[in-house]
Structure 1
Amino acid sequence: MKLVVAGSTGFVATEVIRQALSIPAITSAVALGRRDVPAPENSGPATDGAKLKSVVCENWEEYSDSVKQELAGADACIWTIAITPSKPKTAPWETVCKVCRDYAVTGIETMSQLRGRNSDTDKQPFRFVYISGTASQRDPAQKPRLLGDYSLLRGEAETRILDFAAKSQGAVAACVAKPGIISSPAKPTPLMRQAFYAVIGLPKLQVAEIAAALLDQVARGFDKDTLENADLERIGQKALQEAAADA
């Protein structure tokens, strides 16, 4: 399997890449980001760094021919690019819309077209995971009081990605991951941010769990088109246990 990890320098993406390099079924891991990405630190003994290919993308609205060449033949993509809920005011709203919605839509459209056809890829659809958030809302009538416009924006992105897959006649399968607070023992969530998230009642998830869950789903196929925090925790914990047993 050739896997693309979009937004490769981020917190979740780094863990996804770290785990992916130890999974035999993943033969190629393309780290797609704004700068070169080295192999993550603290990788296990089964890590195969030769599987990692760092690809720099300077235009997320129209991929260059050189980037398209590196993405050609990909079997799956885990899309981690976004402006997080705590930072939507750090950029103009137009930019937030592009980063959180438009880039992802362009990504699934472009990569699915670049996949090509051969005896291996014909067997399975191109699988695309969009990481959203548990507070995102697809129904405008259910607009939240806090971060309402942002929540609707992420919900619109989810809808457009799922609709694209539904209209592909089986060529594309899409899944929306909706985690709550993502943390790790090495990078705990700042106290002020914890307090903010507690006010709006977000559940918690370890970064190792979401990474393992997403890798499990792109390899085996999606359990359903929307994975809530509890789903990600359950799938991730099981995948980590299986990996530990096989080590």
Structure 2
Amino acid sequence: MKIIVAGSTGFVATEVIRQALSIPAITSVVALARRTTAVPQNAGPSADASKLKSVVCDDFENYTETVKKELVGADACIWLIAVTFSNVKTMPFEDVRKICLDYTLKGMETMAQLPRDSASNPLRFIYTSGHGAQRDQSQKPWIQGDYTLMRGKTESLILEFAKNSNGAVEACVTKPGIIDAPGRTGPVMKVLGSIGRAIISLPILDVGEIAATLLQQAVNGIEKDTLLHEDLVRIGQKALAAENIAR
């Protein structure tokens, strides 16, 4: 099985790749990013680093033929390209929207058009959104309203595209809260976690759990089109136990 990990240099993507290299059913991992993706340092003794192929894409609105050639034959894509809630204020909102919405839809459309060996099965497109993303555009949240509405609109457009694809694409939207990992819980993360839990009930999810969930959906099939925090914990813990991946 061939999977694409888009946004492959981020910390969630690194964990996805780390786990994927130890899953026998996955034979090829295409790491798609603006810069070269290295094999995770803690890949583990059962990891097969030869499965990883780093593909550099300079423009996520215009895929070159060279890049598209590397994506041909993929069975699933785990899409992790986005501007996170905590980084929204670091750039103009037009750029945030382009990265979160335009890049995602263009990537989905591009991959859906590429030939695949198992053409009779849909391309599984697993998109990571956010816990507070709001699909109802008439309900603007009081915290980062424009951002959360835009992320919710992206979710709706992804699911609509899959629905109208005549079976070519099957989509799944995951909605995690704050994603934590060993060694990343510094002062800022601790403050964000405290504020999130106290004010907006934002849950914290272990990076290993969400990575395992994303891979489980890619490999074994999509359980439902939207996975909430409790789903991510349930599926992730079960998948980690079944695969027995070192953490």
Counterpart contact for 2:21–2:51, Cα < 8 Å? yes
Is 2:159 aligned against 1:162?
yes
With over 3 angstroms needed to count, the CA separation of the structure-2 counterparts of 1:3 and 1:204, relative to structure 1, is: same
User: Given residue 210 of structure 1, which amino acid in structure 2 is its aligned partner?
Assistant: I
TM-score, normalised to structure 2, is 0.95
| Aligned twin of 2:29 | 29
Over the matched positions of the two proteins, sequence identity in percent amounts to 57
1:126: which partner in 2?
123
User: Structure 1 unaligned runs (5+)?
Assistant: none
Where 1:170 maps in the other structure, the secondary structure is: coil
Q: Equivalent residue for 1:113?
A: 113
Q: State the aligned residue count.
A: 243
Q: Within 2, Cα distance between the matches of 1:245 and 1:13? A: 16
Aligned position for 1:5: 5
Please report the RMSD computed on the Cα atoms of aligned residues, expressed in angstroms.
Answer: 1.4
What does residue 191 of structure 1 align with? 190
Match of 2:147 in 1: 150
Greater than 6 Å deviation, 4+ residue runs: none
* Whole-angstrom distance in 1 between the partners of 2:245 and 2:165: 38
Distance in 1 (alpha carbons) for counterparts of 2:169 and 2:43: 31
1:29-178 paired onto structure 2 within 5 Å? 29-114=29-114, 116-118=115-117, 121-178=118-175
Displacement, 1:140?
1.5
Residues 197 and 240 (structure 1 numbering): CA distance in 2 closer, same or farther, change over 3 Å?
A: same
Superposition deviation, residue 186 in structure 1: 2.6
Instruction: Give the Cα–Cα distance (whole angstroms) in 1 for the partners of residues 157 and 227 of structure 2.
Output: 16
Deviations 1:41-66 (A, max 9, x none): 11121100000000001000011111
Map Cα deviations across residues 24-83 of structure 1 (whole Å, 9 max, x no partner). Answer: 111100000011011001112110000000000100001111111111111110000111
Amino acid at match of 2:112: S
Work out whether residues 5 and 80 of structure 2, in 8 Å CA contact, stay in contact via their aligned partners in 1.
Answer: yes
